[in-house]
Amino acid sequence: MKNRKHWAYTGGSIAVALVVPAGTKSGDLVKLGADDLYGHAETDQATADMVAKGTAPQGLVENQATVFLPGIVESIGVPAAAIAAVAAFGKVYLKADKTYGAAPADGLHIGYKLNATTIALRAN
C-alpha cells in the first residue's frame, strides 16, 4: 500500500512518536485530544535538555514520547488538505465520495488524525 506509514504485523497495535503532555513518564496512560484517543507511553517524554545532551530515546524530538495506541492497527499518509478540517487527534470519518470529514454525519468513523498528514486507522 503506497500510503502506509506504520502497521502492526501481527494484527496488534502500533507505537509511534507523538507529542505528549508535559511530565509524561514511561508507563503513563496518555489522553490525546478531545475525542477519546488514548495511548500508553513506552518512553519518558523527551525534554529539551535530554535532546541537547543526546540522552532522549532514539528518534524522539522535544516533547515527544513513544506511545502505544491500543486498537490502532495501521497509519496512513494523506495530503494535509484532506484532513485539515479535523482537530489534532480528532476522529476522522470516511465520506461516501472517499474524502474525509470531521463529523459523524460525514460517514464511517475510520480512525484519528495523528498529525497534519497521518490518519491512525482503528480496528473494526
| pLDDT tens for each residue of 11-44 | 679 999 999 999 999 999 999 999 999 999 999 9
Residue 7 is predicted with a pLDDT of 67
Q: Give the DSSP H/E element, type plus range, for residue 49.
A: helix 48-53
* DSSP 8-state secondary structure symbol assigned to residue 41: E
Give the structural domain span for 95: 4-122
Grid coordinates given for 36: 477519546
Count Cβ neighbours within 10 Å for each residue of 61-86 and write b for 16 or more, e otherwise.
eebbbbbebebbbbbbbbeeeebeeb
Q: Which amino acid is at 44?
A: D
Residue 61 is predicted with a pLDDT of 97
51-104 pLDDT, tens per residue?
A: 999 999 999 999 999 999 999 999 999 999 999 999 999 999 999 999 999 999
Q: Which residues contact 94 (CB under 8 A, 6 or more apart)?
A: 100, 101, 106, 107, 108, 110
Domain count within the chain? 1
Indicate whether 1 pLDDT > 60: no
* DSSP 8-state secondary structure symbol assigned to residue 18: E
Residue 6 is predicted with a pLDDT of 74
114-123 pLDDT, tens per residue?
A: 999 999 999 8
Distance CA 62, CA 64 (A): 6
Grid coordinates given for 114: 495523528
Strand segments (E) across 54-115: 64-69, 72-77, 91-94, 100-101, 108-115
81-90 pLDDT, tens per residue?
A: 999 999 999 9
